[in-house]
Amino acid sequence: MKLRRLRALAVKELLQVVRDPRSLMLALLMPVMQLFLLGYGVNLDIAHVPVCVYDQEGSPFSQGLFKRVQASPYFRIVRSLHDQREIRQAMDNGSCRMALVVPADFSRQVALQRHAAVQAIVDATDDNTATLAAAYANAVVAGFANDVRLDLVERTSGLPLLPAPVAQQSRVWFNEDLESRNFIIPGVVALVLALVGAQLTSLTIAREWERGTMELLVSTPVTPMELLVGKLAPYFAIGLLDGLICLAFAVFWFHVPFRGTLLALLFATSLFLLVVLCVGYFVSVAIPNQIGASQIALFLTIMPISLLSGYAFPIDQMPAAIRLLTYGIYARYYVTILKALFLKGSSLHELWLPVLALAGYAAAMVGLAARAFRKRIG
């Protein structure tokens, strides 16, 4: 490998990106846009969901429950209703997303230590919000029931009681300390870098074919390895820059804690970028037109990464067969590393397994990409 050739190729490539508004936008604007889109769009938190209440008992107990619901940041009681039909109406005209129906024997049920049978009716048009609202409502009600029960038991017998199992169970769902965005954003960084990196490099060889510059390039003494390294170098730099931009937005805009070291992040990001850039390059070699290449690159990155990397959908909740599949998704390892760096502040030592896996992928992809290109036409 000749350094001069690498530099010439890198400078040329960079000039082309800088002079192409589309590439430039893809390189610098896209990451921020994606981060915002996914950071806000894939938000598993709910807040101030409008709730209607239908109180069939009308007791201090039920009033206490509503106070509790109102006090939580997730719900906002908007109306009090008086029969089942009104619930339907309120849901249909969109004035509420959830209705809580307190049964006439609510106090008695609680006192008897039975399940507090408060009914939560949820508008399921937004599946995500519906599921969450139901879960959070369950938690709020369970918490209330628990407190009331403790109160009752203490007053009647004075015996201390262990926390009821209901309350334990609901803790899984209802964790005030967890903000889902903190879990999502680090993974989004992986998705953004994969998207941008593979997109940019998917164009690099295809562009030469499409514009007729490949024939001349092939007639020079440039080696396939030089071509790979020279062409990917500027995108690598752009990728790292994008990584830092994402980090800055994650920390300063979305207030996601970053507890790891910058060096560890850059190292893992470098490995991940190597894989991603080589995937794009590989596609570019295989498909000699820019539109086709970028579509395939998009498909190869967005699909597996958004579904199987575990950035939003926890891997341990997937069916076993799919879980097995995720081990083949290189982004999985990077997402693991990112989450650990952001939230746990792990060191690279502790992350040796995913780091090693990522490094293996990087080495394999570089080897493949270098071999893929043949200096021949026709």
Partner 1 sequence: MNANEITVAATGLTKRFGPLTAVDGLDLAVRRGEIFGLVGPDGAGKTTALRMFAAVMAPDAGRVSVGGVDVVAEPERVRERISYMPQRFGLYEDLTVDENIRFYAELFAVPRRLREQRAARLLAASSMERFRKRLAGQLSGGMKQKLGLACALVHAPSIVLLDEPTTGVDPLSRREFWQILYGLRAEGVTLLISTAYLDEAERCDRLALLHGGRMLYCDTPAALRARMPGALAEFATPAPRQLRDALQGRAGVLGVLLVGNGVHVHLDQAGRLAELERQLRDSGVPCDGARLVPPSIEDLFVALLGGAGTQP
Q: Which of residues 20-79 bind partner 1 (CB under 8 A)?
A: 20
Work out how close the CB of 139 gets to partner 1 at its nearest, in angstroms, rounded to a whole number.
58
Kindly tell me which of 4 and 349 has the beta carbon lying closer to partner 1.
4
Span near partner 1 by CB under 8 A; candidates 70-78, 96-104, 359-367, 369-377? 369-377
Considering only residues 7-26, where is the footprint of partner 1 by CB under 8 A? 7-9, 11-12, 15-16, 19-20
The answer to whether residue 289 forms part of the interface with partner 1 (CB under 8 A) is no
- The reply to whether 210 sits near partner 1 by the rule CB under 8 A is no
Tell me the DSSP string of 297-321: HHHHHHHHHHHHS-SSS-GGGS-HH
b/e 222-241 (16+ beta carbons within 10 angstroms → b): bbeebbbbbbbbbbbebbee
In whole angstroms, the minimum distance from the beta carbon of 4 to partner 1 comes to 5
Count other C-beta atoms under 10 Å from residue 151's C-beta.
Answer: 12
Binding residues for partner 1, rule CB under 8 A, total 29
Report if residue 377 touches partner 1, rule: CB under 8 A: yes
User: What is the closest distance, in whole angstroms, from the C-beta atom of residue 222 to partner 1 in the complex?
Assistant: 6
Q: Is 370 in the site for partner 1 (CB under 8 A)?
A: no
Q: In one letter, which amino acid is 65?
A: L
Cα gap 291→299, rounded to integer Å: 12
Residue 164 or 370: the one with the smaller Cβ distance to partner 1 is 370
155 binds partner 1 (CB under 8 A): no
**Choices 192-200, 206-214, 293-301, 316-324; region in contact with partner 1 by CB under 8 A:** 206-214
Q: How far is CA 341 from the centre of its chain?
A: 15
Nearest Cα to 302, choosing from 202, 179, 232, 372?
202
Q: Cα separations (Å) of 143 from 63, 121, 149?
A: 15, 19, 10
Pick the piece of the chain touching partner 1 (CB under 8 A) from 1-9, 28-36, 53-61, 339-347. 1-9
Q: Of 17 and 100, which CB lies nearer to partner 1 in the complex structure?
A: 17
Strands 49-55 and 75-81: parallel
CB 145 within 8 A of CB 117: no
Query: Phi and psi of 114, rounded to 5°?
Result: -90, 175
State yes or no: residue 119 binds partner 1 (CB under 8 A).
no
How near is the Cβ of 27 to partner 1 at its closest, in Å?
15
And the tokens for 87?
Answer: 């619930």
Binds partner 1 by CB under 8 A, chosen from 212, 317, 319, 349: 212
Element containing residue 99 per DSSP (H, E): strand 98-102
Return the residue of 217, 302, 325, 372 that touches partner 1, per CB under 8 A: 217
Segment contacting partner 1 by CB under 8 A, of 107-115, 174-182, 211-219, 309-317: 211-219
**CB 106, CB 61: distance < 8 Å:** yes
Enter the DSSP assignment of 163. P
Residue 55 pairs with which residues in a beta bridge? 102
Residues that bind partner 1 (CB under 8 A): 2, 4-5, 7-9, 11-12, 15-16, 19-20, 211-223, 375-378
